[in-house]
Amino acid sequence: MAQAKSTNPNEFILPDLGEGVHEAELIKWRVAVGDRVNEHDILAEMETDKALVEVPSPRTGVIKSLHGSEGEILNVGNVLVEYEGEGGGATAPDTPPQNTPAQSTPATQPKPEADAPEEPRGRGHRGRAGRRGAGGALGG
C-alpha cells in the first residue's frame, strides 16, 4: 500500500488503500489514545468501495490522537493518527524489545548432514534410468 508522507514525523497520513481509491470509511478503531503500538500493529479497519482493509502502524509509539469517528468517510492524504513525542519509530527505553521470528531464527540455514543418503541416480544415458536400469520395472 502506498503511503503519503507528512513533514511532521508524529503524523500518520491515511495512505492510498488501493488503486484509484481516494476515500475510505472508518469501520473500527483498533487502538485508543494513550495506547502503545509497535510497527505493523493494526490501527484501524477501513472499508473502500473495493475491500475491507486493516491499516497498520508505520512505527512504534504512543497514540496521541485519532482523527475520525467510526462510520466517517476519511480522505486519503489526511492525518489518521498522531503519535506522542519524537518520531522515527524507536522503541522507548523502558520497553524491552520483543522477539520476532526473524530475530529468533539463524541467519543461515543449517547444511544437510554429510551422512544423509543421496537421491538415487539413474545408470543410463545422461543419468537417466534405462529400461533395465530401473530394476527391470519397465519390462524387457
* Global pTM exceeds 0.75: no
Cα(43)–Cα(28) distance, rounded to whole angstroms? 9
Helix (H) or strand (E) holding 33: none
Topology annotation, domain 11-87: OB fold (Dihydrolipoamide Acetyltransferase, E2P) (2.40.50)
pLDDT of residue 96: 42
Reply yes or no on whether the pLDDT at 65 is more than 70: yes
pLDDT band at 20 (very low <50, low <70, confident <90, very high): confident
pLDDT of residue 11: 95
Cα(136)–Cα(33) distance, rounded to whole angstroms? 75
Cα(55)–Cα(112) distance, rounded to whole angstroms? 41
pLDDT of residue 85: 81
37 to 80, 95, 101: CA distances (angstroms): 15, 11, 18
Reply yes or no on whether the pLDDT at 33 is more than 80: yes
Amino acid in position 111 = K
pLDDT digit string, tens, across residues 103-133: 444 455 555 555 555 555 555 555 555 555 5
pLDDT band at 1 (very low <50, low <70, confident <90, very high): very low
C-alpha cell read off for 67: 482523527
Domain residue ranges in the chain: 11-87
Cα(71)–Cα(123) distance, rounded to whole angstroms? 70
Quote the DSSP letter at residue 94. Answer: T
Average pLDDT, the chain: 76
Give the residue with greater pLDDT, 55 vs 49: 55
Reply yes or no on whether the pLDDT at 97 is more than 50: no
Query: Considering the chain, what percentage of its residues have pLDDT values greater than 70?
Result: 56
